[in-house]
Amino acid sequence: IRALTVAIDGPAAAGKGTVAKAVAAHFGFAHLDTGLLYRAVAAKTLTGMDPETAARGLAPADLEDPTLRNPDVAQEASKVAVIPAVRAALVRFQRSFATRAGGAVLDGRDIGTVICPDAPVKLFVTASPEVRAQRRFAELTGKGIEVTYESVLEDVHQRDLRDMSRDQAPLKPADDAKQIDTTEMAIEDAIAAAVALVEAKQ
């Protein structure tokens, strides 16, 4: 198998993380959920730390914090993600991860557009806001986190808006990204489509 970089972008809870993990496992590539980086910065700013200081000082152990999946951290993540100095502090780590020898799958918002513009495989995974909110609601309640569907849908709308309208690295498909809409698609089919795209580059 030829090691290569796979860039997967899309809005919150579209299924990109699931697709990214499965593609990485299938080909033996490493996987980086880049949203975790912004969430880890957010977990620190929620305790009062300056965002740029938090981003510059990020350590691997910070990504293990179980509270990173909480909705308040997700909201804060999309706020710190607007700050250019925060994004700049995270670029080098993501690019070096992307170019590791064994191949890499990165999922996020700006992987195909900014972090890895030369990635040979780019995917943009979407789904309707309602379906994404339903999935995130099931995931959070499954973990014992108390939320309502309405609050999750509101969170999805707010983050979509903030992620798409920011000046730097806004959420949008790269010109050469293959779009996959998972609204009415089984996640297995989305994974199969992604695997086929990587196989086509072998």
Under the binding rule (CB under 6 A), the answer on residue 108 touching ligand C5P is yes
- Nearer residue to ligand C5P within complex by CB, 143 or 196: 143
Q: Give the CA distances from residue 199 to residues 1, 8, 89, 144, in Å, rounded to whole numbers and listed in that order.
A: 9, 16, 33, 38
> Residue type at 188?
E
Min separation Cβ 43 and ligand C5P, Å: 11
Site for ligand C5P (CB under 6 A): which residue of 110, 121, 125, 137?
110
Min separation Cβ 199 and ligand C5P, Å: 25
d(CA 72, CA 130): 19
Is 10 known to sit in a ligand binding site? yes
Instruction: Pick the closest to residue 106 from 178, 29, 39, 27 (CA basis).
Output: 29
* DSSP labels, 113-133: III-TT-SEEEEEE--HHHHH
- Nearer residue to ligand C5P within complex by CB, 5 or 78: 78
Q: Count residues near ligand C5P (CB under 6 A).
A: 15
d(CA 143, CA 130): 20
Site for ligand C5P (CB under 6 A): which residue of 5, 18, 34, 70?
34
**Could you say which residues in the range 119-178 bind ligand C5P, by CB under 6 A?**
159, 163
- What does the binding site for ligand C5P look like in residue numbers (CB under 6 A)? 12, 34-35, 38-39, 74, 77-78, 81, 108-111, 159, 163
